Structure 1
């Protein structure tokens, strides 16, 4: 499980992260930052505070990631679909207590996908919080779309060569999620990408043919 850093030093931010987006929330200026080498991302307060005499940026949300060359053993269709993609898998996300229910996790996902050109893929293990976040993004985001991928079948839902956008309710939930110790849906992941990019790719059916 992700252990969220409470602060970052200005030196760490300058050395390791790129500034992806700046926005205001509740009278504060927040920065979305991304470290493509680790990889990891976070939302921090732009203002610097002093903690025990040391200047630091407060972290309000953090995201652990893992870069993926492919998913599964032999996903030919997916590799062709994402041949130019920057494919990154989510390992864990955490929002600081007191900062939850403000849309920060969704904002972080959208910034990485839209500003950094990343295709985000869910973890194979889904806890209740992660499940609710993906459902919320699928229902409410105006900028990114979500697809359901079976890495064992090497195909997107509905597994007939097409690719259906998941809207948070159009696919039977029991076909996506399974709770431990049940592992029947362990190979299912959710894929989030730019709505514009997805629309362009779906105009070419050959990109999704096995």
Structure 2
């Protein structure tokens, strides 16, 4: 999952502002955040799908009222990833599965935890299961490690889409904490493609824990 800053040569094109009419027409405001005395809104368009964090206050850009975008996600709805990902767990049959194809954070807003807050809002407020892209830049790797290590609300798992199985691929499912799984089993550096089929899956930790407990009881 690429994590990019504006100006990167491989930049995914994302808006720098949204008009108030576009926000009202196309997005739901799912959470309000405070940051250094500013109010930010997490917005989500379930139809496209797309998500962003914007300044709640309206600014004038060349005489036109707009909301400034401070972070944005490039998303794609998925029912399968290579093989049928829904078949990996029956609990995903009714899941809202979204793949993250890129995240862009304004350079002035980096290192403020906005990417993590955006992930948490979508998963906890919108009931989404987020799946990483197959291609990982350093920023994406660090973001997933940070979420796995620090978030007390999101559970992260490692999925091999070619095997249709979670790590450690023995029928169980191990929670990734940012360091408990050998890194060479998750990430590969171009042109090496040995881990291309590996994705990370982020779910509501409370729901994931309950499902794992139910699965354990059913095997007893």
Please classify the TM superposition score into its range, dividing by the shorter chain length.
over 0.9
Structure 1, unmatched stretches of 5+, are none
Name 2:153's counterpart in structure 1.
143
Q: Which runs of 5+ in 2 are unaligned?
A: 1-10
- Asked if 1:197 is matched to 2:207, the reply is yes
SS in structure 1 opposite 2:109?
coil
For the 8 Å contact 1:77–1:207, the answer to whether it is kept is no
Match of 2:123 among 113, 119, 122: 113
159-168 or 200-209, which moves further after superposition?
A: 200-209
Contact 1:90 1:121 in 2 (8 A): yes
Q: Per-residue deviation at 1:206?
A: 7.2
Instruction: Sort the Cα spacing of 1:111 and 1:207 in 2 relative to 1 into closer, same or farther, 3 A.
Output: farther
Q: Per-residue deviation at 1:3?
A: 2.1
In the alignment, does 2:102 pair up with 1:96? no
CA 1:98–1:125: 2 relative to 1, 3 Å: same
Q: Show the counterpart of 2:170.
A: 160
Of 1, 22, 26, the match for 1:12? 22
TM-score (norm 2): 0.91
Q: Provide the residue aligned with 2:179 in structure 1.
A: 169
| 1:200 Cα deviation after fit | 1.1
Structure 1: 4+ residue segments shifted above 6 A: 206-209
Instruction: Pick one of 90, 115, 136 that aligns with 1:80.
Output: 90
Contact 2:86 2:92 in 1 (8 A): no
Residues 7-49 of structure 1 show CA distances to partners (whole Å, capped at 9, x for unaligned) of 1000000011000000110110000000111111000000000
Alignment equivalent of 2:40, drawn from 19, 22, 30: 30
8 A contact 1:68–1:87 mirrored in 2:
yes
**Cα separation, 2, equivalents of 1:208 and 1:58:** 49
1:78–1:208 CA contact under 8 A, matched in 2: no
How many angstroms apart in 2 are the aligned matches of 1:183 and 1:104?
A: 30
Distance 1:76 1:116, change over 3 A: closer
Residues in 1 aligned to 2:217 and 2:30: alpha-carbon distance in whole angstroms: 29
For the aligned residue pairs, the C-alpha RMSD in angstroms reads 1.6
Give, in whole Å, the separation in 1 of the partners of 2:172 and 2:125: 27
SS in 2 for 1:179: coil
